[in-house]
Structure 1
Amino acid sequence: MPRTTRRQAVAALATTAVVALSLTACGSDADSAFDGGQGAPAPADAQMYAEDSAPDTRRIAPTESQEEYADAAEQPFQDVATSPLSTFSADVDTASYSNLRRQITQGQAPEGVRIEELVNYFDYDHPAPGREDDEPFAVTAEVAPAPWAPEHHLAMIGVQATEAVPTHEGNNIVFLLDVSGSMDEPNKLPLLAESFSLLASNLGEDDVVSVVTYAGDDRVLLDSVPGSEDGVITDALESLTAGGSTGGAAGLETAYELARKNFVEGGNNRVVLATDGDFNVGPSTPEQLTEQVEDARESGVYISVLGFGTYNLKDATMEAIADHGNGNYAYIDTVDEARKVLVDEFDSTMYVVAQDLKLQVELNPAVVSEYRLIGYDNRRLEDEEFDDDTKDAGDVGAGHAVTAFYEIVPASGAAADNGLKYQDSRASGSDDFMTVHVRWKEPGGSESAEREYPVEAGALTETPSTDFRFASAVVEAGLVARGSQYAADASLESARSRAAAALGADPYGLRAEFVALLDRYRELAA
């Protein structure tokens, strides 16, 4: 059956959320943050980022939440003379944004803010490669003054994947569903069942579906049912009840066994895990579970992780499973979000077009003195790992985009002799800001391809694009929500103003929803 792409989603996706948020919004000027992130000290040349410049750390409302989030330190400013390379893994997860939306809507303090996931939640008009192009990516860049630090530059790098689906051999999908006692909440198991019914309705006769549930024990409800029998699949989903402990590791093992048994050569083989992440029987720590999925990924089976619920959400566990299992991670807070991830973005969620995508940015000391990669704090790689084809990195789906921001301190003084591309840049007259190196494997491949894309002086503009202005507003709000020590003059008011003026076409209403969310956030901060 026909499938919509990420850029063809229905316009009504976010309407209800925008209305709900707008009803509670007010024009408060409060701009405090409520989650004090800890970062490495700023260098001497970035004095504006003293520790006392971070937004105040306060809670909107006290909670008894047992939610768990990984605490990755912010990336500090680096001196180009001594650290000219910045290397990181791609990340296309979006869970942090929908979880932040849920937290603010419920009046909670933001936790688990990963700025790259906020940015990558939205679509941008990055030029995409044609469906007939040999390479799966197009890379673009734009540079403008940093809104919260105008004497600095802000570079936006976009890596846009092709929307061409790499296979037509069919899907072999295993639904792995947490039905333990902790899922017995309206925003957990009932929402899970409705979400997977949406996914089932998007499958066809060339697809096969298996359903595994786990609580104290794991159970196979369906084994390789044709995707066209969505009524059978929906009946199984509607029969689910919650109770018992959470033996997630055993469920994972059974799900991967089924995926291997029904493996479609040349097709898309994937486990879709739905859980609140509260594993409490058998192997249950992020370290134990990541070891399990690292072994399983070698069979060519991918994983998607969908988080549900509140109070005991184990975000750190779910993110780790996705990152180490050749997967992606989304948080489902509403039926609309389920439709976005599982229907409108079906191809992006399900079909990998590039494996182990890494980026290495070489900064030019003739133009850049210091720099800081914003976000991707737990996706950093050692520089030498860029060329290591055994090093796992992020996988990118059809139509996905990886958008990254660097805050740049303009250069003054002599360039260092570091043996890299720009070591003689002053003598040669190069005025490039940087060169972006991209390295990836074809799905199932073992050897990487590599391309480089220089970011020339002409990328700098005083009148940035609508996409740049909106995305930089998302970054600014993320700095505030994270309690970043590098926030400088960042504020919710500034982010809201710039985002509202940069809605663009906004066919899905997601940018308008973001503006309404900032209004709600500012009201709560008052």
Structure 2
Amino acid sequence: MKNLALILCFVLSLWHIQSQEKTIIGTITTDFDGIPLQGATVIVKGTNRGTQTNVDGKYAIKTKENDILVFSYIGYKTISKTVKNALVINVVMVVDDASLEEVVVMGYGTQRKINRTSSIAVSSDEKSKPSATISQTLSGQAAGVNVSDSSGHPGQNSTIIIRGRNSISNHIEPLFIIDGVPVDQDNFRKLKQKDITSFSVLKNTEATAIYGNRGSGGVIIVTTKGRKIITPNNDDYTKIIENPFKRANLTPLSTFSIDVDKAGYSNVRRMINNGQVVPPNSVKIEEMVNYFDYNYPQPTDKHPFSINTEVVETPWHKDTQLVRIGLQGKTYENDKLPASNLIFLLDVSGSMGSQNKLPLLKSAFKLLVNQLREKDKVSIVVYAGAAGVVLEPTSGDQKDKILAALDNLNSGGSTAGGEGIELAYKLAEKHYKKNGNNRVILATDGDFNVGASSNKAMQTFIEEKRESGVFLSVLGFGYGNYKDSKLETLADKGNGNHAYIDNMQEAQKVFGKEFGGTLFTIAKDVKIQVEFNPKKVQAYRLIGYENRLLADEDFIDDAIDAGELGSGHTVTALYEIIPVGIKNAYLKKIPDLKYSKTEITSNFEDELFTVKFRYKKPNADKSIEMIHVQNNQISEASNDMNFVSAVALFGMQLKQSKYFNNATTSKVIELAEKGRENDRNGYRAEFIRLVKSHKSIN
């Protein structure tokens, strides 16, 4: 009897143990890349008890030994596991080929169905509830798509990542295609679900096979009802009225400020690479020309730059001549440059959430930080709904501290640009370095919508602050909301330069190769005045520089602001001239003058024009003048002249100019190939590829 009681107790104990609950934990990953799967469902079979995986793919659920756990996720095969004695159950999810309608896009707009597991299509019938965002819909319907909020702040834009080794390891934003047109993530989010017919996702090799490197982060393709093409239409450019021909006997003087900005070229490059139409007002020929280096000699006298001129027959018009005027700024080695007091003024507003904005910005500034010296100081000011200091002045040898401050930045909120600029200048003035380089470096997409937001208000403030000796450089990022006109105004009035960074290659150029020119000014208020000899020149036309023109009397007025020249910078200006005695359709007949007659001197028979330059030293208020005379000789075009002609001609074609004489794109390529020599960094070869790409899609 005693033994029977013991046996009964033992059986009851076993039954009690088996009926006890325990917690099972585990991680759910995908089979094709081993990446944790967020939002997968775990349910105890036959019950309503369940949970979902977190951002790391982890879950925890209470079970009993005899329970069966069911693991599921849309687009993947459902998996069942019996608990038994396990305490940890990890699951690898496999894509369910049978449940997906596969779509592969063969170039823009053409589709055909095949079986391919990395291409997922979701029809409009499968959409989520109307209240869900397009990002949430994509995450819930398409296998392998992860939508996450990197900062955890409510209301901040989520980040869309297509699961794949490249996209996860490098956090590469997908390429978004809406009705055959590439758009950024901001424009993708503007889609309304009711307008969508279907969307599909391409991953890994299929994405790059069709879209090249642009598809390395995957591709999300959307077809809308009525094919409503969404394009970035909030970019803002100042209207440019092209310079006309002027008669030398009536207006022999041409006066303008130099321009070392290069944003125009990288912005055009970005649009062409994305297959977008290039707005004519976005094309600034002088900035395209000045993007490239030319073989100008270093200055050998007391002046900080050398002057160079060249005259050839115009490649696109046999009846005119092309004049090149080039300045070469003196190059100083980085270790010879004065100490810097740099204020990074960084836009972290909600509009900067895209991968080509704040994430690219942080990577770009790391290139600059890595070149700083112990004597350099860096502060970081950010602005969104409000402005604040996130890094007090820190020595350049404390790179880890500066880089950590950059890494901690997240986007969200509105754009208090005016407040941010005021705070940055206040900090720069407080820690001012006498005889040093004091500069605010503003990085933004240009969308100032809180505070002193108008161009005029900003211009007035910057004009006042530049008197303190603090200069302003402006870097533009992203597209779809890019305010070119505002950023250019800030840079011009702040005695600085304006660059547009569309990728890390451009960041390396601005902060690596051109470090000195980007940050260190060697001459300010540089003005050029050309006087053409009416005896030899019937008419002339300045190519580009439309927003840099000055009145003739401004040339000798030291109160008038002009452009700055940095260490190692080059500046190139082109004129097209019509020689005396040549009939040309560009010149219209004018009436005879009644009260005055223009007399042309018989002297200077061998001179074509005279160039005068005025500049100030960085800390001076009085300008210095230089003079250069060009004789009346036409030379054979140099390699640099051929290449600069190609860039100018391509710019005129993009602008739909009336002056390029119907020259073809093939002519641009021919000239560029002639001038390809000494292309150490490959920028000229890239230009040729760009022209060919534009030719193939037009």
Confirm whether residue 151 of structure 1 aligns to residue 326 of structure 2: no
| 1:135 alignment counterpart | 303
Matches within 5 A, 1:323-338: 323-338=492-507
**Aligned partner of residue 441 in structure 2, secondary structure:** strand
| 1:90 alignment counterpart | 258
What is the rounded CA distance, in whole Å, between the counterparts of 1:74 and 1:288 in structure 2? 27
What is the rounded CA distance, in whole Å, between the counterparts of 1:227 and 1:273 in structure 2? 19
Matches within 5 A, 1:356-505: 356-412=525-581, 424-425=600-601, 427-458=602-633, 460-461=634-635, 463-505=636-678
Question: What residue identity is the alignment partner of 2:250?
Answer: T
Residue 412 of structure 1 and its aligned partner are, at CA, apart by: 2.6
Q: Deviations over 1:129-165 (max 9, x none)?
A: 13xx311111111111111111100001101111136
Structure with the greater alpha carbon radius of gyration: 2
**Aligned partner of residue 564 in structure 2, secondary structure:** strand
Q: Is the 8 A contact 1:165 1:353 kept in 2?
A: no
Matches within 5 A, 1:306-317: 306-317=475-486
Q: Deviations over 1:264-296 (max 9, x none)?
A: 000000000000001111111211211111111
**Aligned partner of residue 298 in structure 1, secondary structure:** helix
| 1:63 alignment counterpart | 231
Question: What residue identity is the alignment partner of 2:305?
Answer: F
**Aligned partner of residue 266 in structure 1, secondary structure:** coil
RMSD of Structure 2 on Structure 1 (CA): 2.0
Q: Is the 8 A contact 1:469 1:502 kept in 2?
A: yes
Question: What residue identity is the alignment partner of 2:618?
Answer: P
What is the rounded CA distance, in whole Å, between the counterparts of 2:367 and 2:404 in structure 1? 13
Q: Deviations over 1:99-119 (max 9, x none)?
A: 000000001111310000000
What is the rounded CA distance, in whole Å, between the counterparts of 1:204 and 1:190 in structure 2? 24
What is the rounded CA distance, in whole Å, between the counterparts of 2:599 and 2:259 in structure 1? 30
Alignment counterpart, residue 428 of structure 2, candidates 259, 268, 289? 259
Residue 424 of structure 1 and its aligned partner are, at CA, apart by: 4.9
* CA distance 1:165–1:505, change in 2 (3 Å): closer
What is the rounded CA distance, in whole Å, between the counterparts of 2:531 and 2:338 in structure 1? 39
Question: What residue identity is the alignment partner of 1:437?
Answer: K
Residue 431 of structure 1 and its aligned partner are, at CA, apart by: 2.1
What is the rounded CA distance, in whole Å, between the counterparts of 1:155 and 1:85 in structure 2? 15
Q: Is the 8 A contact 1:208 1:225 kept in 2?
A: yes
**Aligned partner of residue 212 in structure 1, secondary structure:** strand
Alignment counterpart, residue 113 of structure 1, candidates 283, 286, 307? 283
Count of residue correspondences:
458
| 1:123 alignment counterpart | 293
* CA distance 1:90–1:423, change in 2 (3 Å): farther
Q: Is the 8 A contact 2:325 2:572 kept in 1?
A: yes
Confirm whether residue 203 of structure 1 aligns to residue 378 of structure 2: no
Q: Is the 8 A contact 1:149 1:488 kept in 2?
A: yes
Question: What residue identity is the alignment partner of 2:641?
Answer: F
Q: Is the 8 A contact 1:477 1:491 kept in 2?
A: no
Residue 177 of structure 1 and its aligned partner are, at CA, apart by: 0.1
Matches within 5 A, 1:180-259: 180-259=349-428
Bigger mean CA offset, 510-519 vs 499-508 = 499-508
The percentage of aligned residue pairs carrying the same residue is: 45
| 2:41 alignment counterpart | none
Question: What residue identity is the alignment partner of 1:322?
Answer: A
What is the rounded CA distance, in whole Å, between the counterparts of 2:520 and 2:267 in structure 1? 24
What is the rounded CA distance, in whole Å, between the counterparts of 1:272 and 1:117 in structure 2? 20
Matches within 5 A, 1:293-312: 293-312=462-481
What is the rounded CA distance, in whole Å, between the counterparts of 1:491 and 1:63 in structure 2? 28
Residue 63 of structure 1 and its aligned partner are, at CA, apart by: 2.1
Unaligned runs of 5+ in 2: 1-209, 213-228, 583-591
What is the rounded CA distance, in whole Å, between the counterparts of 1:340 and 1:294 in structure 2? 28
* CA distance 1:444–1:216, change in 2 (3 Å): same
Q: TM-score, normalised by structure 2?
A: 0.64
Question: What residue identity is the alignment partner of 2:657?
Answer: S
What is the rounded CA distance, in whole Å, between the counterparts of 1:107 and 1:285 in structure 2? 32
What is the rounded CA distance, in whole Å, between the counterparts of 1:455 and 1:135 in structure 2? 19
What is the rounded CA distance, in whole Å, between the counterparts of 2:249 and 2:663 in structure 1? 28
What is the rounded CA distance, in whole Å, between the counterparts of 2:277 and 2:558 in structure 1? 40
Question: What residue identity is the alignment partner of 1:78?
Answer: K
Q: Is the 8 A contact 1:154 1:408 kept in 2?
A: yes
What is the rounded CA distance, in whole Å, between the counterparts of 2:599 and 2:314 in structure 1? 26
Residue 404 of structure 1 and its aligned partner are, at CA, apart by: 0.3
Residue 429 of structure 1 and its aligned partner are, at CA, apart by: 4.7
Q: Deviations over 1:162-197 (max 9, x none)?
A: 113697430000000000000000000000000111
**Aligned partner of residue 224 in structure 1, secondary structure:** strand
Q: Is the 8 A contact 1:165 1:351 kept in 2?
A: no
* CA distance 1:162–1:169, change in 2 (3 Å): closer
* CA distance 1:196–1:361, change in 2 (3 Å): same
**Aligned partner of residue 495 in structure 1, secondary structure:** helix
* CA distance 1:508–1:294, change in 2 (3 Å): same
| 1:50 alignment counterpart | none
What is the rounded CA distance, in whole Å, between the counterparts of 1:371 and 1:395 in structure 2? 25
* CA distance 1:160–1:423, change in 2 (3 Å): farther
What is the rounded CA distance, in whole Å, between the counterparts of 2:599 and 2:638 in structure 1? 32
**Aligned partner of residue 458 in structure 2, secondary structure:** helix
| 2:448 alignment counterpart | 279
Residue 498 of structure 1 and its aligned partner are, at CA, apart by: 1.2
Confirm whether residue 161 of structure 1 aligns to residue 336 of structure 2: no
| 1:508 alignment counterpart | 681
| 2:142 alignment counterpart | none
Unaligned runs of 5+ in 1: 1-22, 26-60
**Aligned partner of residue 304 in structure 1, secondary structure:** strand
Residue 489 of structure 1 and its aligned partner are, at CA, apart by: 2.5
Question: What residue identity is the alignment partner of 2:252?
Answer: P
**Aligned partner of residue 259 in structure 1, secondary structure:** helix
What is the rounded CA distance, in whole Å, between the counterparts of 2:501 and 2:296 in structure 1? 26
| 1:53 alignment counterpart | none
* CA distance 1:423–1:358, change in 2 (3 Å): farther
**Aligned partner of residue 256 in structure 1, secondary structure:** helix
* CA distance 1:423–1:228, change in 2 (3 Å): farther
Q: Deviations over 1:388-446 (max 9, x none)?
A: 00000001101111100000000139xx99xxxx9654x22522110000000000110
| 2:119 alignment counterpart | none
What is the rounded CA distance, in whole Å, between the counterparts of 2:486 and 2:511 in structure 1? 21
Q: Is the 8 A contact 2:232 2:479 kept in 1?
A: no
| 1:41 alignment counterpart | none
Q: Is the 8 A contact 1:169 1:264 kept in 2?
A: no
Q: Deviations over 1:57-113 (max 9, x none)?
A: xxxx87242100011211110011110000000100000000000000001111310
Q: Is the 8 A contact 2:328 2:568 kept in 1?
A: yes
What is the rounded CA distance, in whole Å, between the counterparts of 1:315 and 1:492 in structure 2? 27
Confirm whether residue 176 of structure 1 aligns to residue 351 of structure 2: no
What is the rounded CA distance, in whole Å, between the counterparts of 1:64 and 1:239 in structure 2? 29
